[in-house]
A and B are shown apart, each in its own frame.
Chain A
């Protein structure tokens, strides 16, 4: 399990039943709507994902429960990894375009 010593786990996986890898709830610590909503949007665009949603368990605690259910027996970590990758690429693209725009015009 991640998080030994004083290091706090940033991401935990909770699986309800033993067999089905397609339905997983991730607990993300120290996160809020900033990442939750945008990652959810990226994952929802994936056709294999049957359900994707996040909740903030309580506003005093900064952690979110992020649930992914896939169809077709695909492990749920796949769309999460892909969604994070895609969001990273979008940010990189925006950064590059912004810098180019800055240098060219100003």
Chain B
């Protein structure tokens, strides 16, 4: 390809939550597009419709609905985008929650209390606990509301596929760290006092230097990413889905363009 770059990718670290990698030999525009797609266009599953049958807790209905919506769902298979008006088993998963506090001590209603009808789609934190029952893991279930004796919460919800552009609950990342030119050789940032700023972990200059010498002809070339997943998808899955989504957008645009050209040709003739 005469004009296409051949970027190189190097993965430096991969854990259950993070993936750190470096992309070289590409441009800032493409690298930024990748970062944007990681956050806003990777589809995940989150609760989108909720019906509260009983709520005598201290939080009002829409408060609880908002909190429940932000609980991430993790899924092993993919739900399809179907065109039905209502929620059907093809495109959504039903979840229920039914908690009543009967003891004297406060009952914490967490994401673990959300039960889904489809065993492959569950709220995020439950899965981690089931895997190691012997280890003492910090209670990382998402707290929804606390109930006193006599209070109850009963609701039905449907979870759907969506992506971060529509609502932040569908954002699979907890954060995407994006860095280039760690020693500020291009002077894209102008520090009033450079010696105050800590060095980046990717810095390549000596201890006593604060910034690399100015390079007027340089271009940003090496981009360091650290994609942290919130738990609904594995981090490498996020990266690969993002690339697939970007390719799909481009190919859709290409098909549309060829249709436009054809229809233009037909109208002229």
Interface of chain B residues 233 through 250 with chain A (CB within 8 A): 236, 239-240, 243-244, 246-247, 249-250
Contact present for B29 and A40 (CB under 8 Å): yes
Interface string of B32-73 (1 = CB under 8 A from A): 111011001100000000000000000000000000000000
With A10-B256, A77-B261 already in contact, the answer to whether A88 and B247 are too (CB < 8 A) is yes
Contact present for B3 and A95 (CB under 8 Å): no
Q: Which of B4, B21, B243 contacts A89 (CB 8 A)?
A: B4
Instruction: Name which residue of chain A comes closest to B7, CB basis.
Output: A94
Nearest chain A CB to B83 CB, angstrom units: 11
Question: Is the C-beta of A85 less than 8 angstroms from some C-beta in chain B?
Answer: yes
Question: Is the C-beta of B188 less than 8 angstroms from some C-beta in chain A?
Answer: no
Contact present for B260 and A46 (CB under 8 Å): no
With A12-B260, A34-B41, A102-B236 already in contact, the answer to whether A87 and B10 are too (CB < 8 A) is no
Q: What chain B residues lie within 8 Å of A1 (beta carbons)?
A: 263
Interface residues on B, range: 35 or more
Question: Is the C-beta of A57 less than 8 angstroms from some C-beta in chain B?
Answer: no
Q: What chain A residues lie within 8 Å of B32 (beta carbons)?
A: 33, 37-38
Main secondary structure of the interface of A (DSSP, over half): helix
Instruction: Name which residue of chain A comes closest to B26, CB basis.
Output: A90
Interface residues on A, range: 35 or more
Contact present for B33 and A35 (CB under 8 Å): yes
Nearest chain A CB to B137 CB, angstrom units: 24
Question: Is the C-beta of B254 less than 8 angstroms from some C-beta in chain A?
Answer: yes
Contact present for A91 and B253 (CB under 8 Å): no
Main secondary structure of the interface of B (DSSP, over half): helix
Instruction: Name which residue of chain A comes closest to B30, CB basis.
Output: A38
Nearest chain A CB to B17 CB, angstrom units: 14
Instruction: Name which residue of chain A comes closest to B14, CB basis.
Output: A106
Contact present for A33 and B36 (CB under 8 Å): yes
With A98-B21, A102-B11 already in contact, the answer to whether A2 and B26 are too (CB < 8 A) is no
Q: Which of B10, B34, B256 contacts A11 (CB 8 A)?
A: B256
Question: Is the C-beta of B154 less than 8 angstroms from some C-beta in chain A?
Answer: no
Interface string of A62-97 (1 = CB under 8 A from B): 000000000000000100111011111111111101
Nearest chain B CB to A59 CB, angstrom units: 13
Q: What chain B residues lie within 8 Å of A89 (beta carbons)?
A: 1, 4
Q: Which of B21, B33, B240, B260 contacts A95 (CB 8 A)?
A: B240
Question: Is the C-beta of A101 less than 8 angstroms from some C-beta in chain B?
Answer: yes
Contact present for B253 and A97 (CB under 8 Å): no
Contact present for A90 and B11 (CB under 8 Å): no
With A45-B3, A91-B246 already in contact, the answer to whether A99 and B14 are too (CB < 8 A) is no
Interface of chain A residues 1 through 39 with chain B (CB within 8 A): 1-2, 9-13, 28, 31, 33-35, 37-38
Nearest chain B CB to A106 CB, angstrom units: 5
Chain B residues near A (Cβ < 8 Å)? 1, 3-11, 14, 21, 23, 26-27, 29-30, 32-34, 36-37, 40-41, 236, 239-240, 243-244, 246-247, 249-254, 256-261, 263-264
**Nearest 6 pairs of A and B residues by beta carbon:** A41-B29, A86-B4, A38-B33, A11-B256, A97-B9, A95-B243
> Known pairs A84-B253, A95-B243, A97-B9. 10 more at Cβ < 8 A?
A9-B256, A35-B250, A82-B3, A87-B30, A90-B30, A91-B247, A92-B247, A93-B4, A93-B7, A98-B239
